Every structure is written in C-alpha cells, then in structure tokens.
Structure 1
Amino acid sequence: MNILVAPDSFKGSMTSAEAAEAIHSGIRNSPFTGAKVEMVPMADGGEGTVDALLAPLQAEKVTVKTVDPIGRKTEGFFAWNGDRKLAVIETAAASGITLLSGTELNPSVATTHGTGIIMKAALDKGAEEIVLGIGGSATADGGAGFLQALGCEFLDEKGQLIQRVSGRLEEIHRIHTGNLDGRVKKVKLVIASDVKNPLLGEKGAIAVFGPQKGVLKEEIPFYENGMKQFADLTVKATGKDYRDAPGAGAAGGFGFSLMSYLNGEMKNGFELIAELTSLEEKIEWADLVISGEGKLDEQTFYGKGPMGVARTALEKNKIVLLFGGSVSESFIKGTYHEENLIPVPLTHEIIPLQQAMSQGEKLLELACRQTLKTLYTGAYRLGGFIKGE
C-alpha cells in the first residue's frame, strides 16, 4: 500500500513537518506498518510555508535577526535556492499571531516590520524571485511596518516622521516612497494567501479578521477609518488602487500594500504550494491520503490546505483521512456526502486546550494508529479498499 502524508500545521502545536512525522509514527505502529509512505508537509501561505518548501525547492534555511510583532528581538528565517535566486518568506515567522500570547495581542502596537527585515535580508542575498506567504499574521497595519523596514516614510499631521507605524493608521497623513528600496521593484513577487477578502467593508480586513488580532467590537469603526485613510494615501502615492482586489484584506491589509507598492501577484497559497511540491502526481501514486490541521470547521472548506488535499484526492477516488485538533459539527455535516472522506478528532476526551496543544504530536500519533487499526479490522469498508475486498 502507498500512503501519502500531507498535513498542514496545527497552529501553536505542531508545524506541518512535525505533524507529518507524528502521522508517520502512527502508521509505523499500526497494522499498515509495511506500507510505503511519502511525506509532503503542506501549507497555504501561513505558518510552515518555508519548511514545506525546503525539500521540494532544494533550498537551505537562512536565519535572520529580526523583531516580533510588538518589537521584541527574535530570530526569523527564509528558504533560499541560490541557483534560482529564489527566496520563500512566511509572515508568520516574524509577524505571526502564534508569537504572542492572548494578552499580548494589540493591533495598535503590532506591525509587520519584522517581515520587512527578513525581506531585506533576502534581497541582500541576491533574490530575484520571492514567494511571500502572508497567512497567520498578528497585525492590522496594512503592511505599513513592512514598508517602513524597506525605507518607506510615513509622516503625521504635523509633517513629523512616525518612528514606528502600527495599526494606528489614522496617524499617517503623508507617505513618501522616495527612499523605498529600489530592488523591490525589480524582484518578481508572488503572494501566497488563502484569503480573498477585499481591504474594506463588512468583508474586509478589519471587520472579518480584526477581532482575532485583538480589535474590540467597539473599535472596529476606528480601525476601519484608519485603513481607509491609509488606502487613500496609498492610491495617491502609487497611482494604483487595489482596495477591492481579491486578497487585499489578507493579513490585516498586507496583501493590499504588497500589490500596491511591490507589484505582487496574488495566488492561492495551497494551489501554489501544491504545484511546487508536485502534490497531484503524488496523490495519483497513493492508495490512502492523510492530511489535517489544528481546527476542521467551516473555514476549512474555503482555500485551506487540508481540504485542498482532500478534494484533489477524492477526485481521483482515493481514501482520505483528515485529522483535526478539533472537528466542528458543521464540518462533519459538510462532509457527509463524501463516503471516502473520514474526519477524525485527535481526542474524544475533554481536556484543557493548552494541554492538548502541548501534547499535539502524541495525540496525533495515537489517533492515527487507532484509526488505521479500525480501518484494518474492517469497521470501515470504504469501497472494498481495506483487506483486498
């Protein structure tokens, strides 16, 4: 039997590579121990994007001294293929929400500045092509902090230089691009994102994603007005208006700035990574496909990696297991009609979230082992796949 292991990350618990290893361990300790296994850690532009592409791109991992969303010193990274002069950066490495505790989430302080520092390091390395994954950010700064790290200048109403821009975009009254690093206009930039939201409005960056970044309900109009002001100033500075473009609202408006200032091309994160990892070809090879992520819910159906893996596999009549740290009832209902798709929670016990996340690899290994044992004993027949029926 051929088994393809292609999970996304379990945010705050396991990277996609760690999840793949846990699943592999479960297979080795199951009745399918003799199966041929290929691991293809997946991502959709968020956490784990760099690790997912290291092997497929034959790239090395380069570390960079940078800062986290609230300005603390940290170590970031990017993938680098010197032959192709190609770099892969993930926003989550320096500006990610998993870098902050719940009490540290603060959109009035958080910035994408650290990602800009990583971008500059990639340009210093000689990058001519950059894939930038923008999922999982803790920011609502419209990408202003990123631009500031690359030389863009933001002035307040008195004409004074703002030393550290953040989600308080209403403070910006003028934007100067004269000192923006000239290399950004020459590099080919591909933006990897699973989000299609516009920048503004009820489906925009603040209304939809602001609360998860710390925006209180009563603060939404304030941040929305600041984002609109930033958009208007950006149009004046660049002559381009991407506020309604699909993905402009991704990562707190970061997608908008990457298209406006760097001529970035927006692509579906899962589809891009699936292409770079030859995922479809590997699914064709497999008899059983295993994927998963931290939470399987309604959002999983819209551009998330595990569902992308599952849909491709189901089209080829493969059996699919999807593991989730939690599996919502709505997700289960949404998959009832797919007889070859089995969603599996990591635990059926009620345990504290932090405890579950700290034991993620152990729980995933055990859930995989037990599920495969159930399949082997014939509790699921799945179209005659099990035991040669």
Structure 2
Amino acid sequence: MTRNTRYVCAPDSFKESLTASEAAQAMAAGIRKADPDAEIRLLPMADGGEGTTRALVDATGGSMRTTAAHDPLGRGITAEYGLLGDGATAVVEVAAASGLALLAPSERNPLVTSSYGTGELIRAALDDGATRIIVGLGGSATNDAGAGMLQALGVRLLDDEGRELPAGGAALARLADIDVSGLDARLHDVEVIAACDVTNPLVGPQGASAVFSPQKGATADDVALLDRALGHFAEIVERRLSVDVAGVPGAGAAGGIGAALKGILDAGFRHGVDVVIETVGLPDAVRWADVVFTGEGSIDAQTRYGKTPAGVAETAKRYGKPVVAIAGHVGEGIDELHAVGIDAIFGIAPGAATLQDLLEDAPANVERTAEQVTRLLMLGGK
C-alpha cells in the first residue's frame, strides 16, 4: 500500500507580514488543498536574528515569558524572552531589551546606550531554571562591549577611583578594573551560546564601532572615540582576566556584546541558523519527509550566506530531499541558490500590487503558491 506524501514546512518569517509559524501554517494549508492526505510537520525557523525566540518557542512547544527590564536609555520596559519546550533552554534576543527599534531616531546615541536590559533577560532566564541560554546577537542600539549586560549580571566595572562606570560605550575609556567576584554564580553551571552570523572583531577598521555604530547614531568622531574605548576595555579584560577578546571573530557583534559573552561568560559562538536547525530537530524531520518547503520574505543572492532557506536546503541535501522555497520577493542572483540545494524558488506576488496589499495578502498568497507547487509536484506521481 502506498503511503501518504510527507512534507516539512520550515520557513523563516516574512517580515512585516507573517511570523515563521504563520508562514508554515499557510504553506501547510496550501499543501492540504492540493493533497488532502498529506502528512505535514511544521517547523518554524529563524537565522538567529529577529524572530528567533518566537520561532524556537513555537517549534518546541515552549512559552514566551515577560519580565521587567530597561531599554538602552535606562527606561523601564517589559521585555520578552523564550523558554523552550525542554524546560531547560532559554532564548534571549539582544534586540528585545537593547534593540535599535526601541529608540526613536533622535534618541540613538551609542556613546551612552547600554546593554543592561540584555543582562536582565539573562538573569530572568536563570530564575526560570534555564541551564542553556541562547543569546541572539543582532539589532542592538548599543556599542558598550556588553558592559551593561555584565553589570546587570553582577560584574563591577570601576574607574581609577573605584567608582562604578556610568552607562555607555564612551565611559569604557575610563575603565580601570573589572571585578567579576559578584558575577551571578548560576552562570558557572550554564551553557551560553552566542547565535551570531558576523565575524567582526571588537576593534579596528572591521570592528564594532567602525562597521556598526554609524547606523546607531555615531558620528565620525564618535566612531573613533568608541573604537579607542572598546580597545581599552579589551586591554583591561586581558590584563585582569588573562582573556584576549580584541581579535576574537564575532567579538564585535551587537556592539561588542560578543566580546563580553566570550570573554566573561565563556560563550560558544555558533551560526544562528545552525543553532535553530539543531534546536528544532530539523535533520530528523527532513529524514522523515519526502519534500521540504522553506522560504522567507525576500530571497536573493545573499540568501546563501547564513540565511534560513540556505540552511534548510543544505540540511535537506544531506538526505537527498527536494527543496522548494517560497518568497515574498525574489531578487537577483537566485541561480546561485540552486548550488546550495534549493531546487525551485517561487514568488508569491500574484501580479501588480502595492506593497501594502502584498503585506496584507501574504497569508493567502503563500497558501495559494504552496497549493500550486504541490499540484505540480503531484504530477510527477501520476
């Protein structure tokens, strides 16, 4: 007896229109219209950036948690993190409490913005009993080398008179000592994973300040000041703790939070999409499947560099499974994606439409496209 066809729906979010979970559900609805007997597994995906927490929570049957925290300017907010279905793994996105999106353009100033809120989220995850914490690096408004995060976790950053440094990257120029004796002791028994897709060092022409701080509000003079301040931070860390963070690949991620995670919290660095693939159990699902659907809001030549569809395709190809990608927008250079394992790419736009219409109609358009692709696939079985 011939068994039913098995499909895995493993998309990323379609920004401003669909979460990864909603995109997966729309794909599944379309597949079922064409193949009512289909067996389908939904695996919402992400690449370590925005939406990673929600995708992992949805995929593992976990829960979103909220806690009081502080935004990059020290104002009280309520921020979210995730506790996954295993009850032991937490996901913290830097952007949730220390993100650029939390500030108006006129408020952006990496000289004074702090990552303190990220530390508060990590502390809340510890309170929940997490023994594995995934920190998604990306979207930060800060350039403080993770100093604020460390302070929230009990580390004291002192000037030459023994006073605690104020918030912000500029203050690191006055750093004289680091006291880690008050670091939350629970972190000694916790695995910290930095989900990171950049390899920038902390300082220098490819460092956090030079590459990322201008988009956070830094002027040319600010960039030079911040680069010196972060370099000084690295010198003090090496002198006091015998840890070199200046040149570590990824140390410059999220305004230098990567340096603090690596140097003080001994975090391991992983590509964001690889962390997600492992956490949601994509390899097992792919082995089970006959066809794999993936996708995201925009697919182009850059998709092959650490983006979800490429990661899904590379996993599927290890098991010889066909991969279909569905996108809100299909850009230039997609021929390169066939080499990484995406067999076919389909845009969802039905014709001439405004951007607003495309965003509003995304659920129906994803469903319709998945249905038509499935009908095409079924022709091969006739």
Q: TM-score, structure 2 length as denominator?
A: 0.84
Matching of residue 198 in structure 1 with residue 197 in structure 2 = no
Deviations 1:54-88 (A, max 9, x none): 36655443321112333333222333369764433
1:223 maps to which residue?
226
Shift in Å at residue 156 of structure 1?
Answer: 4.9
2:372 maps to which residue?
373
- What is the SS of the residue equivalent to 1:256? helix
Kindly provide the amino acid, as one letter, of the partner of residue 130 in structure 1. Answer: I
- Is the Cα–Cα contact under 8 Å of residues 19 and 361 in structure 1 kept in the other structure? no
Distance 1:170 1:43, change over 3 A: same
Identity among equivalent pairs (%): 38
- Is the Cα–Cα contact under 8 Å of residues 178 and 236 in structure 2 kept in the other structure? no
Return the match for 2:122 from 119, 124, 147: 119
- What is the SS of the residue equivalent to 1:281? helix
Shift in Å at residue 364 of structure 1?
Answer: 4.6
- Is the Cα–Cα contact under 8 Å of residues 185 and 263 in structure 1 kept in the other structure? no
Measured in 2, the distance between the counterparts of 1:228 and 1:311 equals 38
2:141 maps to which residue?
138
2:81 maps to which residue?
78
Shift in Å at residue 258 of structure 1?
Answer: 0.6
Matching of residue 388 in structure 1 with residue 360 in structure 2 = no
Measured in 1, the distance between the counterparts of 2:257 and 2:90 equals 19
Shift in Å at residue 191 of structure 1?
Answer: 2.1
Return the match for 1:320 from 320, 323, 327: 323
2:20 maps to which residue?
16
1:2 maps to which residue?
6
Deviations 1:275-327 (A, max 9, x none): 22220121122232222233334443222222100222234333323234443
Shift in Å at residue 33 of structure 1?
Answer: 4.7
Return the match for 1:174 from 173, 176, 179: 176
Deviations 1:128-156 (A, max 9, x none): 33222223333322111111212223345
Measured in 2, the distance between the counterparts of 1:201 and 1:31 equals 55
2:362 maps to which residue?
363
Measured in 1, the distance between the counterparts of 2:99 and 2:340 equals 34
Shift in Å at residue 104 of structure 1?
Answer: 4.7
- What is the SS of the residue equivalent to 1:262? coil
Matching of residue 53 in structure 1 with residue 56 in structure 2 = yes
Return the match for 2:250 from 244, 247, 250: 247
Measured in 2, the distance between the counterparts of 1:108 and 1:325 equals 37
Kindly provide the amino acid, as one letter, of the partner of residue 90 in structure 1. Answer: E
- What is the SS of the residue equivalent to 2:249? coil
Shift in Å at residue 252 of structure 1?
Answer: 1.7
The Cα RMSD (Å) is: 3.2
Name stretches of at least 5 consecutive residues in structure 2 with no aligned partner.
Answer: none
Measured in 1, the distance between the counterparts of 2:251 and 2:323 equals 33
Distance 1:257 1:158, change over 3 A: same
- Is the Cα–Cα contact under 8 Å of residues 98 and 115 in structure 2 kept in the other structure? yes
Kindly provide the amino acid, as one letter, of the partner of residue 114 in structure 1. Answer: G
Name stretches of at least 5 consecutive residues in structure 1 with no aligned partner.
Answer: 379-383
Matching of residue 341 in structure 1 with residue 362 in structure 2 = no
Measured in 1, the distance between the counterparts of 2:104 and 2:269 equals 30
Measured in 2, the distance between the counterparts of 1:349 and 1:169 equals 52
- Is the Cα–Cα contact under 8 Å of residues 194 and 304 in structure 1 kept in the other structure? no
